[in-house]
Structure 1
Amino acid sequence: MNKNSSRILAFTFSACIALCSCSETKKNSHDSEKQSLKENNSATQSLTELSENSYKLVKYKTIDKAAYLYDITRAKDGFYYASGDDTSHTNADSAASAPYIYKISSDFSDFQKIELELPEAAKQADEINNFIVYNANGDIAVFYTFIDNGDMEEPEEYDENFDYEAFYENQTASYGICFYNNDGTIRKFIDLGSMESENSEDDSLIYHLAIAMPDSDTVVTFYSHNKIDIFKSDANHETITVPDEFLQYCDPQLLTGSDGKSYLSIVSAGKDPSSTQNKILEIDTDTNELKDPFYTENSANYIPTGPYHYITGCGDYLFIGSNEDEVMGIKADGTSETILKWVDADTTEMRIIPADNDEFYCLSYNNYGNEPSLELYKLVHRQAGELDNVQIITMASFGSNPLNSYISKFNREQDKYRIQSVDYSTELTPEDMEDKSPQSIAERNKNDFNKLEIDITAGKCPDILMLSRSDTALLGKKGALLDLYTLMDNDSEVNRDTVAPNILKALESREGKLYSITPSFTVNTFAAKKKFVDHENWTLQEMIDLYDRMDTASKRYSTMDKSEVFCMMLYADSDLVDIERSECHFDTPEFIEKLKFCNRFVDEMEFADKSGDDAYQRYWEEYSRRFTDDQDIISNVMLCGDRDLGYEQIEFGEDITLVGFPTSNGKGGKLEPSYEFSIGAGSSVKEGAWEFIKMILSDASDENIDAGKGNISDGYPVLMKDLDNKIDSMSKVKAYDENGNLIESTTYTIQGIPINTPTKEELADLKRYILSCDTLKYSMDDDAYAICIEEAEEYFHGGKSAEEAAKMMQNRISLIVSEKS
């Protein structure tokens, strides 16, 4: 299942750099704009507003045989400065080994290569590393590492008889900084010596360096874990120690503001362990201190690298930050505002730099073949009225839409429709960020869904919806969703004959209507050794009997805790809540027995003791052998394609049976859709909405198209021709031969153990099993789930009996189901 879709698949369970005009005047702060959006979630941007206030991506030019450009900086004179491919050099006495930069014309038509004169120390060194820096004023400097190999010489090709360890231990290094004139000649050289006292703890050579140049006579570096070094052209050297609280998650990022000053972007802990804060602080190179943060961005989730990647700003912005959804600008007063939504520009996140006339270049490299090229695009303002004849298709989302790349693709490849997301999520308060209990998440998701229901009641149902199974069933029952069979029965490409029949059966309502469809799916099941269970699909009693019989399996109750086992049982029982019939079934003898079985497991798993290496290693060795040694019984398996059962072959060491989750109806394998797409019953653009869904279904078969953008290709594609191709392709894997050539192979290795790809007969049997699974996993919504967890935990801790817990679940969830119906 798409790991990023839990917020979008509303209410299942709790558990480059684009710029637009730097002079564009969106005066609300970033936070205020978000809040305004949340207060009017159902409002969509009109096409007139979109034409007047957004950019679109257009192809500009292709530059053949282009070097890969790093750190492109726009200078005040309109030129660009950039580093090229080579950053490390040997045999430094040759002119070709000198570092260089490019000076590029404003229209990228002229590239001037500026070679930087080598200092004498570089000419005498056996090797050099250089770190080039330049700024918007055209000032240039290089931090050099001069490496002396002593009396040893490294062979040109690998020599197994050469003592490489002694060679590297014998190396010594010294350092220096060159300040350059703009023609590449040396203006000033500063000899830094060995820097042993200031270097990192192990005194290793400096091979990685963050570097900035706030003015013509100052270089700021960050190469040690907690030290900022400030070097002046008069040889003055100062050090600032970075507080430990700024180093918890990742190394700080050294930034240059549009004011020319140096800054530090850090990530620190939020108000709870699962959230973070991004802060930006000025590095005062006059007083040699870090100032207090002038900007703070709170993240509701744990983002160890920060929510944005920053570059130097322009116009009113000190910095421009981007992520996969948007580009934002940070001002000197600490306020921020959205500059651009990628999806509005019909593209995904790209590497970009400012251009003339309030436009922006976007860079993309084509690395295929022997002659890589640079594809140059532009973000240009839309013309007023250019979208006047386009029809809007609204698409409901709950937070960031994980399918923005596909929305951009659809909007870009045709001009009849345009998809716009309508965000129904509520802006999280600091208190919300702290409280991540299942009950609180369920309440927030319920509130968000209520906003959608209000719009539906008011006749403003979005054209496309992505919802959980329970919410889809509820809205289908209420008549808010279109029966997709009405479209499929007149479609030659996507219809009842071309879609996997098990998915259609699983998603159909009791009346035989199809209110949603998915592009791909996985199969969740239990596996056990064939010698213990020789048939697919078992009952709860069979499972309990096996556990009772296997009393020598010492780890059978300790590799999962009570709550984990209960959650798996809960997720897999699609009959517990029946939204269509307004029923729930928690007080059955079978469910009570499931509760009692879960209570056999440990309260909390014991993990390896890290205080001793031997004990730690022994723990994991025993854990990895738990199935082969018959110390554990069942494994939770997800079938999703590629090397489906290879890991289980290693894990069990012998033939297995896919026994499934214990059920009374012989439906133990559970389907998990990647997304469920629905169309509003009253949509006036249902044909356009269907074309978008068809595009998604088609692209789900191509992992190269998906490339992780929405993860719709995770699992098995829903179209039968693509499903057949996916299963057939599992007979071979891509591998490299001894010469480094990519070939197809029928064997691969896992943990050093050779595994054969499935035979034709084994693949046919796998396909049979997949298509035999026609019931869904995850059929319960968040509030029912939260109640189940709460009542089960009380039972597990001795607060009530299993019967009492089941009765409370039945009573409480019956009320919720009744209210929703």
Structure 2
Amino acid sequence: MKKHSLKNKARKTACVLTAGMMLFSVGALTACGNKTDSNNTALVDTQEAQKALSYKVTEIPIQGLENFYGQITVKNGLYYLVQNDYEIIDDMYYSSYSVRVFDETGAEKLTIPVFKQTDTETYGGINGDLYVDDSGNISCMVYESSYNETTGEYKEIYNLVTYDSAGNETKRQELGQIYTQEDMENEMYFNGYIVDAQGNLYLNLNKVIRVCDSTGNKLFDTPASESENSWMSNLILTNTGTPAVLVYDYTNDISTQTLKEIDINAKGYGKEHVLTAANGTLYSGSGDYLCYMSSETGISGIRADNTQTENVVNLLTIGIDNSNISSFVICDDGSFITVGNNYTHSGSTTTVSKILPVESSEVAQKEIITLGCFYLDWNIRSEIAEFNKTSDKYTIFATSFSETNDTSDWEAALTKFNNELLAGNVPDLILLNSGMPVNSYASKGLFADLYELMDKDAELTRDKFTPNVLSAFETNGKLYEITPAYSVQTLAAKTSLVGTEQSITLDKALGLVADMGEGATLFGYDIAAPEFLSTAISFSDFVDYENGTCNFDSPEFKAVLEYAKTLPKEIDYETMYNENPNYWVDKESACRNNKALFYSMYFSDFTSYTQTRDGNFGEDITLTGFPTSNPESTGAAMFAQTEMAISSKSEHKDGAWEFIKYVINGAVTEEPYYIWDNSTNEQKDTGRTRYNSKYYSLPVLKDQLDKIAQQALVADTYIDENGNEVEQENIYYIGGEEIKVGRPTQADIDMLKEYFANVDKVSRQDMSIDEIVNEEFGLFYDGQKTVDETVSVIQSRASIYMSEQY
């Protein structure tokens, strides 16, 4: 039974960065130098950053790999890949699969057609990886599925097919006896396979691993998990060649990942390895590493002797964007092969790279800037890789705490690393987020004032930014952090109900709800009391982080507590849905049908305004913000994307600032504007430019915001069968009803830009404040304290906390 409680949610989503995660940097080139913790564990490895640069990257010019599929296989200097192509016949897509073989120059040596779809009722392809032996024989799992619309019969057939080195089929072994229709009916679905050195097959059937001998005879199934919150990931071979499967389990808000070896003699599981930092895709092991794993910065290895995670190659450092890596393999010569896919509005490209260790003397010497974070998001990874690839002066060496540390107990991890950062272990560059006590860090002198760097810069000056952004991030006139983009969260209501004033009190809002009739609610969604309280604190002015004060004993906060007491402590969505199968349909149309006053809006662009106005409300709306007694407040808040700060102790502030500039200047991209041409069934270049927000949010620079705003006025189009460019209809579905949504007008754009310009509050979530409020509120909720007693205790406890931290 699924339940929702914001207190747990907040602990999962709030990310705290500390320098404890900065495990790798160069002693002479770091902000904090060589240090060890109380357990004599090095917080800074003086050799690791330079070692990360000691690789040569060669791109292998393989052509026509836009539809590469699965894992690359490398054997005897040849590269084996699966190609999945599509063709359109009579407006229907037909797929085909083939095995393609290339040498190290990118020259194609062999193409083997494996499957070609010939009708719309039969599908198929290659499932899983390719296996190649020393003689060049290629094995792959080929499946065909069919559905008879008349009889409703569904069939799925798997064959293990082998081809010789010339591409001739030499063996086709049907697996119908070991993977049956009954398995599928029991929700045991084929999810990949591996083959061991003896030729035994190990099939991942989602719930169990089915083991068969080389002739296809079933030997046994591994025991199925008894936990509903347990599932299997990929199969691998360990460094000893032993088959193993990664099993995830999520119980009591704690996630565990266990690599379970499969013992063919015992007919079950053998050794089990608990992996404390297994957050990526696992690959088969070799040498000292039980297995390898994709990580936020590159590839990590999990040691066989102690299951500790070590960074093997930092791809970002050598200019490879690992967020797009779809395949990885380690070759016998010690080199790494990666396959990366880059997707744009105009299509995709695939790059195969060979990474070979070289002597450090062969590497160009550049100034190293250390960057630390708790979690490295996708967009900033690409920025680091491209910066490192193009800069001839600086290299960003990024590390992430979650790569090599146990985060199963999230709160304990946050506490530990928060303490590390407060202790002064800070890298040159730090990535922050709304869940961190940023103002507390700043008040303790951990961060440099970015205005000092900005004011020396002739290119990125203060006047380039939208003023509200700088104002929102300032602390006592200093700028300790900045972001390339942000979103705005606010509340909207029908203008016919609330008027045109962009501010509303809680008392007035509740009065309007009472007048709306029986069953009407404040919000167009169900909200638990802890979530409401956390939202109220984030959007209101109960906490003044800049001055280190709070005002929880105000009449306004009393009203918040009184309303929160009318809400449930937690929400059981599963039960609510079972009791009302139309639950979600009713909720999404609640505001439109006058069953709710407020709808939560999350502005990351300019087009969501008309979708909400025309779809969720069906009439004009007012952006009221969260209820507040301050008539000057918008009641809205910014949510920053990838907040960046520089250590006050860094010796490389200029280099760190160059990277921040690079990220901010690249927040909006310009690409050729491609549209679909139905007359030719292919993309067509219109000759126009499309502006895209890289962070899917509002950019902080004025000229970039203007470009995104103007792009919102441009309708999406396509070419019809007659060669005419036609505007696409903007369709929104509310309550099961199809609604046509208009595009923003220039007046809408102007109104939104003015509204955004008045939002100067950054949403912050301090878990310690939330815990104080929730603990005391629980006593009030249960009737053990009055509201006056509750706010008095909250004010006292929160004031002490603020004085200690700020």
TM-score bracket relative to the smaller structure: 0.7 to 0.9
TM-score (norm 2): 0.78
Choose which of 702, 712, 717 in structure 1 pairs with 2:669. 702
Q: Superposed, which structure 2 residues align to 1:740-759 within 5 Å? A: 745=727, 747-751=729-733, 752-759=738-745
Q: Which amino acid aligns with 2:766?
A: D
Q: Is the 8 A contact 2:514 2:520 kept in 1?
A: no
Does the Cα contact within 8 Å between 1:502 and 1:771 map onto a contact in 2? yes
Give the CA deviation at 1:759.
0.9
Contact 2:115 / 2:125 at 8 angstroms: preserved in 1? no
Amino acid corresponding to residue 671 of structure 1 in structure 2: M
The equivalent position to 1:395 in structure 2, one of 371, 374, 382, is 371
Relative distance call for 1:140 and 1:40 in structure 2 (3 A) is same
Q: Please name the residue that 2:678 is paired with.
A: none
Q: In the aligned structure 2, how far is the partner of 1:793 from the partner of 1:199?
A: 52
Change in 2 beyond 3 A, CA 1:406/1:36: farther
Instruction: Return closer, same or farther for 1:673/1:610 CA change in 2, 3 Å cut-off.
Output: closer
Using the TM superposition, give the Cα deviation of residue 275 of structure 1 relative to its aligned residue in structure 2, in angstroms.
1.1
When you count strand as a share of all residues, which structure comes out higher?
A: 2
- Structure possessing the higher radius of gyration over alpha carbons: 1
Query: Does the alignment pair 1:554 with 2:520?
Result: yes
Correspondence 1:640 to 2:617: no
For residue 254 of structure 1, what is the aligned residue in structure 2? 235
- Scaled by the length of structure 1, the TM-score of the pair is 0.77
The equivalent position to 2:654 in structure 1, one of 683, 687, 690, is 687
The CA deviation at 1:697 is: 1.0
Pairwise mapping of residues 472-511 of structure 1 onto structure 2 (< 5 A)?
472-510=438-476
Change (3 A) 1:337 1:208: closer
- Preserved contact between residue 115 and residue 124 of structure 2 (Cα < 8 Å): no
Which residue in 2 is equivalent to 1:381? 357
How many angstroms apart in 1 are the aligned matches of 2:139 and 2:482?
58
CA distance in 2, matches of 1:55, 1:318: 24
- Shift of the alpha carbon at 1:627? 1.7
Partner of 2:21: none
Contact 1:519 1:696 in 2 (8 A): yes
In the superposition, relative to structure 1, how do residues 781 and 391 fare at CA in structure 2: closer, same or farther (>3 Å)?
same
**Contact 1:179–1:186 (Cα < 8 Å) also in 2:** yes
The 1:786/1:370 distance shift into structure 2, 3 A limit, reads closer
1:384-408 CA distance string (max 9 Å, x none): 2466853333334345576344333
Q: Which residue of 2 aligns with 1:211?
A: 193
Alpha-carbon distance in structure 2 between the residues aligned to 1:68 and 1:396: 33
CA shift in 2, pair 1:202/1:114, >3 Å: closer
Amino acid corresponding to residue 520 of structure 1 in structure 2: A
Q: 1:789 to 1:147 in 2, by over 3 A?
A: closer
**From 701, 706, 711, the counterpart of 1:719:** 701
Structure 1 counterpart of 2:224: 243
2:292 paired residue number: 320
Question: Which residue does 2:420 correspond to in 1?
Answer: 451
- What's the CA shift for 1:99? 8.7
> Deviation per CA, 1:8-66, whole angstroms, max 9, x where unpaired?
4559xxxxxxxxxxxxxxxxxxxxxxx989967884444x6533465446233312345
Aligned 8 A contact 2:86 2:96 in 1: no
Deviations, residues 441-464 of structure 1 (Å, cap 9, x unaligned):
3x76455333223327xxx77455
Q: Distance in 1 between matches of 2:366 and 2:619?
A: 59
**Distance change in 2, residues 1:486/1:318 (3 Å):** closer
- Is residue 2:131 matched to residue 1:134? yes
Secondary structure (helix, strand or coil) at the match of 2:360 reads coil
CA distance in 1, matches of 2:636, 2:396: 36
SS in 2 for 1:776: coil
For residues 285-305 of structure 1, what are the alpha-carbon distances to aligned partners after superposition, in whole Å with 9 as ceiling and x for unaligned?
Answer: xx4822324433146xxxxxx
2:214 counterpart letter in structure 1? K
CA distance, structure 1, for counterparts of residue 449 and residue 338 of structure 2: 42
The match for 1:360 among 333, 336, 339 is 336
Return the match for 2:782 from 788, 791, 797: 797
Does 1:413 pair with 2:390?
yes
Match of 1:361, as an amino acid?
Answer: I
Tell me the distance in 1 between the aligned counterparts of 2:108 and 2:361: 35
Q: Which of 329, 340, 356 in structure 1 is aligned with 2:313?
A: 340
Judged with a 3 Å threshold, the aligned counterparts in structure 2 of structure 1 residues 678 and 337 are, in CA distance, closer, same or farther, namely closer
TM alignment of 1:780-791, pairs within 5 A: 781-791=766-776
- CA distance 1:462–1:109, shift in 2 (3 Å): same
State the distance in 2 between where 1:116 and 1:634 align: 56
**Partner residue in 1 for 2:685:** none
Q: Which among 542, 549, 553 is matched to residue 576 of structure 1?
A: 542
Give the distance between the partners of 2:567 and 2:349, measured in 1 at CA: 59
For residues 717-754 of structure 1, give each alpha carbon's deviation from its aligned partner in whole angstroms, at most 9, with x where no partner exists: 00001111112222234355655999784740111311
Q: CA deviation digits over 1:583-611, x for unaligned, max 9?
A: 22111222222222322334444646579
* CA separation of 1:552 and 1:741: change in aligned 2, threshold 3 A: farther
Q: What is the identity, as a one-letter code, of the residue corresponding to 2:526?
A: T
Equivalenced residue count is 734
The aligned residue for residue 595 of structure 1 is 561
Deviation at 1:165, TM superposition (A): 0.9
Distance 1:207 1:268 in 2: 17
Q: Report the residue type matching 1:755 in the other structure.
A: V
Alpha-carbon separation, structure 2, partners of 1:367 and 1:476: 38
Identify the residue that residue 669 of structure 1 maps to in structure 2: 636
Instruction: Tell me the distance in 2 between the aligned counterparts of 1:507 and 1:98.
Output: 53
Amino acid at match of 2:353: Y
- Alignment match, 1:279: 259
8 A Cα contact 2:297 2:399, kept in partner: no
Q: How does 1:459-478 map to 2 (within 5 A)?
A: 462=428, 464=430, 466=432, 471-478=437-444
8 Å CA contact retained: 2:203, 2:210: yes
Measured in 1, the distance between the counterparts of 2:517 and 2:85 equals 64
Seq. identity, %: 23
- 1:516 maps onto 2:481 in alignment: yes
Moved more, 526-535 or 288-297: 288-297
Unaligned stretches of 5+ residues in structure 1: 12-34, 89-96, 119-125, 150-163, 300-305, 706-710
Q: Which moved more, 1:759-768 or 1:540-549?
A: 540-549
* Amino acid corresponding to residue 165 of structure 1 in structure 2: E
For the residues of structure 1 that align with 2:208 and 2:592, how far apart are their CA atoms?
A: 47
- Structure 2 partner of 1:291: 269
The one of 470, 492, 498 aligned to 1:533: 498
Q: Is the 8 A contact 1:538 1:666 kept in 2?
A: no
Match of 2:711 in 1: 729
Q: CA distance change for structure 1 residues 187 and 469 in 2, over 3 Å: closer, same or farther?
A: closer
Q: Pick from 789, 793, 797: which aligns with 1:808?
A: 793
Q: Give the aligned partner of residue 683 of structure 2.
A: none
2:511 aligned partner, one-letter code: D
* Shift, 1:420, TM fit: 3.3
Residues in 1 aligned to 2:724 and 2:355: alpha-carbon distance in whole angstroms: 38
Aligned to 2:592: 628
Counterpart of 1:24? none
Task: Map residues 85-104 of structure 1 onto 2, 5 A cutoff.
Answer: 85=84, 101-104=99-102
Alignment of 1:298-313 (within 5 A): 298=276, 307-313=279-285
Whole-Å separation in 2 of the counterparts to 1:270 and 1:39 = 30
SS of corresponding position for 2:498: coil
Q: Structure 2: how far apart are the matches of 1:256 and 1:424?
A: 27
Pair 1:295–1:761, CA change in 2 (3 A): same
For the residue of structure 2 that corresponds to 1:531, the secondary structure is helix
**CA, structure 1 residues 793+652, in 2 after alignment: closer, same or farther (shift >3 Å)?**
farther
Moved more, 314-323 or 522-531: 314-323
Counterpart amino acid of residue 269 in structure 2: K
Residue aligned with 2:716, SS: strand
Structure 1 residue 129 displacement after superposition: 6.2
1:543 Cα deviation from its structure 2 partner: 2.7
- SS of residue paired to 1:244: coil
Structure 1 residue 102: Cα displacement: 4.6
CA contact (8 A) 2:60 2:354 kept: no
Q: Does structure 2 conserve the Cα–Cα contact (< 8 Å) formed by 1:488 and 1:495?
A: yes
Amino acid of the residue matched to residue 74 of structure 1?
V
Superposed CA deviations along residues 611-647 of structure 1, whole A, max 9, x for unmatched, are: 96xx533333433332222222112222111532213
